[in-house]
Amino acid sequence: MKTVKVAGRTSYTVYMGKDALSGLGRIMGESAERSDRKALVITDKNVAPLYLKPVLRELKGAGFQAHRHVLPPGEKTKSWSMVHALLRVMTERSMSRDSVVMALGGGVVGDLAGFAASVYMRGCRLVQVPTTLLAQVDSSVGGKVGVNLREGKNLAGAFYPPVAVVCDTRTLESLPARELRAGTAEIVKYGCIFREDLFDMLEDWLGEMPGDPGGTEVKSWLLNDTDRLQKAIELSVETKAEIVKADEHENGLRMILNFGHTFGHALEQVTGYRKYLHGEAVFLGMRMATRLSLHAGLLSGKESERVLRVLQKFRVHLPRSIPRKVYAQMQRDKKMRGGKLHYVLLEKIGAAVIKTDLGEKAVLDSITEVIEDTW
């Protein structure tokens, strides 16, 4: 099993590999330094039938009194009312500050369960067990947890690192092709902003793929080359760990992890979280940010073509009517500081930069061009 250490005010280890869940009991036993061995596994109705029983079995084998709570799936679950409901469950189970909240599922479960853990008794122990590609390479690592408000995505949240992250790559086999495609967005992001070698690997890998990664072929493309998939996951986690170590609370370098997300979060919001998976919105957002990088004179035409060629492989369509709606929603983004919106743009493949004071026309043109490309 591959491990990556994430350093910060609380250091922790990310465990990655096939059948990592079979080592969960051992990992939990090693991290249970205090006397309380009570755990609450929080998951959703899609994941529970697949992995809840083996996880509970591992916990009980490690001497934990393990409880479960199953949530409805989907982004709508990541709400303030659901946080309150989870806190009531934790109280009813007589959990203490030394108890463990285990998030078993994708990014929604990880963000929601993590936020509940961060505020229960001012913080209890958190273990992330991500079962989607997006969660394994991104949302489970770095300690950002939160929920959505009516006004925007992730507007209530905290920096709250887990005590461990356990990524079993076999769980990816149970994902629909659409979920796998969405998770690939975050891997592409790391290549664009920080790891040119990762981008080159993905570019070559996509070139070898028969068929269309915008369709069902993406699943066999990813899972039939487990060595490259494992390598892509490892490089992504190592990249995020390096960035988080340098800037744990997103005051500088860590902001580059939002490449494509300012646009993407706005797209999710204006379409009611019903049209796009998060990764799909990020694919579109990265295309918009790449266009804006070109308009701002930062990225060369040749490099922008390479980035857009990769991003456009994962076809996602956009409604024609939304440019101004997206632009208006972006002005509410949590990354707005000093009354200015910070855009993450590319200077070159593998190097991102933060820019402000970009004109409305350039931003709207970038959104519109991507819409036109999808039709």
Instruction: Note the pLDDT of residue 31.
Output: 64
The percent of residues above 90 in pLDDT, for the chain, comes to: 73
pLDDT in tens, 256-292: 999 999 999 999 999 988 899 999 999 999 999 999 9
Instruction: Note the pLDDT of residue 208.
Output: 79
User: Is the pLDDT at 153 greater than 80, yes or no?
Assistant: yes
Instruction: Note the pLDDT of residue 211.
Output: 61
The yes-or-no answer on residue 67 being catalytic is no
Identify the residue with better confidence: 144 or 340. Answer: 144
Instruction: Note the pLDDT of residue 8.
Output: 80
Identify the residue with better confidence: 142 or 208. Answer: 142
In the set 250, 268, 280, 303, the catalytic residue is: 250
Please report where in the chains the tokens 């409805």 appear, as a residue: 72
CA 353 to chain centroid: 20
The yes-or-no answer on residue 240 being catalytic is yes
CATH 3.40.50.1970: which residues of the chain?
Answer: 2-174
In the set 67, 240, 287, 313, the catalytic residue is: 240
In the set 38, 144, 195, 295, the catalytic residue is: 144
Give φ, ψ of 122 to 5 degrees. 65, 25
The yes-or-no answer on residue 250 being catalytic is yes
228 is written with which tokens?
């490259």
pTM, two decimal places = 0.90
The yes-or-no answer on residue 254 being catalytic is yes
Instruction: Note the pLDDT of residue 56.
Output: 97
The yes-or-no answer on residue 144 being catalytic is yes
221 is written with which tokens?
């493309």
Angle formed by the axes of helices 196-208 and 226-246, nearest 10°: 160
Q: How many C-beta atoms lie closer than 10 Å to residue 375's C-beta? A: 7
- Identify the band that residue 5 occupies on the pLDDT scale cut at 50, 70 and 90: very high
The percent of residues above 70 in pLDDT, for the chain, comes to: 95
In the set 148, 258, 268, 313, the catalytic residue is: 258
Instruction: Note the pLDDT of residue 201.
Output: 95
The yes-or-no answer on residue 258 being catalytic is yes
Looking from the CA of 373 toward its CB, the CA atoms found within 13 Å total 18
pLDDT in tens, 17-73: 999 999 999 898 776 555 578 999 999 999 999 999 999 999 999 999 999 999 999
Rounded Cα distance, 46 and 106, in Å = 10
139 is written with which tokens?
């949302």
In the set 261, 287, 295, 313, the catalytic residue is: 261
| Candidates 1.20.1090.10, 1.10.3720.10, 3.30.70.1290, 3.40.980.10; CATH matching 177-373 | 1.20.1090.10
Instruction: Note the pLDDT of residue 216.
Output: 63
CATH architecture of the region 2-174: 3-Layer(aba) Sandwich (3.40)
How is 38-49 classified by DSSP, letter by letter?
EEEEEEETTTII
Rounded Cα distance, 371 and 281, in Å = 12
CATH 1.20.1090.10: which residues of the chain?
Answer: 177-373
User: Is the pLDDT at 82 greater than 90, yes or no?
Assistant: yes
pLDDT in tens, 108-136: 999 999 999 999 999 999 999 999 999 99
Q: What is the mean pLDDT of residues 165-181?
A: 93
User: Is the pLDDT at 336 greater than 80, yes or no?
Assistant: no
Q: What is the mean pLDDT of residues 198-216?
A: 78
Amino acid at 207: G
Instruction: Note the pLDDT of residue 340.
Output: 81
User: Is the pLDDT at 103 greater than 90, yes or no?
Assistant: yes
In the set 67, 125, 278, 295, the catalytic residue is: 278
User: Is the pLDDT at 168 greater than 60, yes or no?
Assistant: yes
Rounded Cα distance, 141 and 10, in Å = 12
Burial class (CB in 10 A: 0-12, 13-18, 19+), 9: exposed
Give φ, ψ of 41 to 5 degrees. -90, 120
In the set 153, 254, 287, 313, the catalytic residue is: 254
What is the chain's mean pLDDT, rounded? 91
In the set 33, 92, 122, 302, the catalytic residue is: 122
Name the range with the highest mean pLDDT among 40-54, 206-220, 270-284, 302-316.
40-54
Rounded Cα distance, 164 and 243, in Å = 18
Question: What is the Cα gyration radius of the chain?
Answer: 20
pLDDT in tens, 355-366: 988 889 999 999
In the set 58, 75, 179, 186, the catalytic residue is: 186
The yes-or-no answer on residue 265 being catalytic is yes
The yes-or-no answer on residue 342 being catalytic is no
